[in-house]
């Protein structure tokens, strides 16, 4: 269709202006999105590389999420003393919002194996403290790469220490299904008991504290041979994602101190799913654990 030259100019100028405006708005949206919504790693993928492990990943890979696992709202934040555990998989955490949501404690991944340190630990650990969350550090065990004493030293040297400041919990040994290979890391039950005891002994000599043990009943019973040797030493943090009113605990432990009851929890200040935990006692007892009183 032929248009007079007097009409072509204004329409072309209008279209050009709209195009420039649209491009500017698109660029603004992209820029804003990159600032406010940085991509997070996919914590739910099955394969993880060395250093990427987090609490419960071995259970997720080897056992899966049981059909009866509770939804994030099964235990409300007001039900008992509530906590979470995090690693780099959660990305940036707003710890003020976490505390405001009723979360009283948290354990934060510090190390794995002999050389790895979580790249979010140095920001998460002091930020949780500043927000008033009673926090501690955890080490993801790799009995297949070095001895327990070596890994305990690596842990203490990279965030796993302790101080009586009313906000610091003892360190945790996360010992669970191997996410990288054979369930028991290629160790016999006797070797595994030695490895765990070496970690515990070294950690206590460095910090004066009994390390908390995080595990599942199935892993502990299989890979340590129903060992009772740690029940009088270490508080038990048991992972059991179930809708039951209490968790299954490993042989040899009389009770649980902390229960990780879901791996798909939701908490203000954390993007995506997060492990939810319940402390077996009052806040006063949690503070007693923190302060070794």
pLDDT at residue 255, rounded to an integer: 96
pLDDT at residue 243, rounded to an integer: 81
pLDDT at residue 242, rounded to an integer: 86
Active site residue 174: yes
Q: Each residue of 50-72: pLDDT tens digit?
A: 666 666 666 655 565 544 444 44
For the domain 57-291, what is the CATH superfamily, name and number? Glycosidases (3.20.20.80)
Structure token pair of residue 66:
């049981």
From residue 200, how far is each of 97, 107, 175 by CA, in Å? Answer: 34, 18, 12
What mean pLDDT is predicted for residues 105-110? 98
Active site residue 144: no
Residue with tokens 């032929």: 2
Q: Which residues contact 78 (CB under 8 A, 6 or more apart)?
A: 102
Q: Each residue of 160-203: pLDDT tens digit?
A: 999 999 999 999 999 999 999 999 999 999 999 999 999 999 99
Is residue 87 within 8 A of residue 117, CB to CB? The reply is no
Of residues 13 and 262, more confidently modeled: 262
pLDDT at residue 64, rounded to an integer: 57
Q: Which of 112, 118, 176, 210 is catalytic?
A: 176
Of residues 2 and 186, more confidently modeled: 186
Is residue 177 within 8 A of residue 183, CB to CB? The reply is yes
Choice among 9-18, 29-38, 39-48 with the minimum mean pLDDT: 29-38
Is residue 276 within 8 A of residue 285, CB to CB? The reply is no
Burial of 193 (0-12, 13-18, 19+ CB in 10 A): middle
Q: Which of 85, 112, 118, 275 is catalytic?
A: 85
pLDDT at residue 47, rounded to an integer: 54
User: Residue 79 — very low, low, confident or very high, per pLDDT cuts 50/70/90?
Assistant: confident
Where are the chain's structural domains? Answer: 1-37, 57-291
Q: Is the dihedral of CA 54, 74, 269, 137 positive or negative?
A: negative
pLDDT at residue 52, rounded to an integer: 61
Active site residue 284: no
Q: Which of 52, 112, 118, 174 is catalytic?
A: 174
């Amino acid at each position: 269709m032929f248009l007079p030259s007097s009409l072509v100019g204004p329409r072309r100028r209008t279209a050009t202006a709209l195009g420039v405006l649209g491009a500017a708005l698109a660029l603004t949206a992209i820029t804003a999105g990159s600032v406010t919504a940085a991509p997070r790693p996919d914590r739910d993928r099955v394969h993880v590389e060395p250093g990427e492990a987090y609490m419960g990943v071995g259970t997720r890979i080897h056992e899966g999420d049981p059909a009866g696992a509770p939804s994030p709202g099964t235990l409300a934040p007001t039900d008992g003393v509530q906590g979470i555990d995090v690693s780099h998989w959660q990305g940036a955490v707003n710890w003020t919002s976490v505390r405001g949501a009723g979360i009283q404690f948290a354990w934060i991944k510090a190390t794995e194996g002999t050389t790895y340190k979580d790249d979010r630990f140095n920001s998460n650990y002091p930020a949780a403290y500043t927000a008033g969350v009673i926090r501690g550090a955890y080490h993801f065990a790799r009995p297949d790469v070095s001895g327990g004493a070596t890994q305990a030293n690596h842990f203490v040297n990279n965030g796993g220490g302790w101080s009586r400041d009313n906000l610091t919990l003892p360190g945790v040994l996360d010992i669970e299904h191997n996410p990288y290979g054979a369930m028991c890391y290629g160790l016999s039950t006797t070797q595994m008991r030695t490895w765990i005891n070496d970690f515990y002994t070294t950690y206590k000599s460095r910090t004066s504290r009994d390390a908390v043990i995080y595990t599942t009943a199935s892993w502990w019973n299989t890979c340590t041979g129903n060992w009772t040797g740690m029940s009088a030493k270490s508080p038990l943090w048991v992972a059991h994602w179930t809708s039951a009113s209490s968790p299954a605990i490993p042989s040899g432990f009389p009770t649980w101190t902390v229960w990780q009851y879901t791996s798909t929890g939701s908490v203000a200040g954390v993007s995506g799913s997060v492990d939810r935990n319940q402390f077996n006692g009052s806040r006063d007892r949690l503070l007693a654990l923190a302060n070794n009183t």
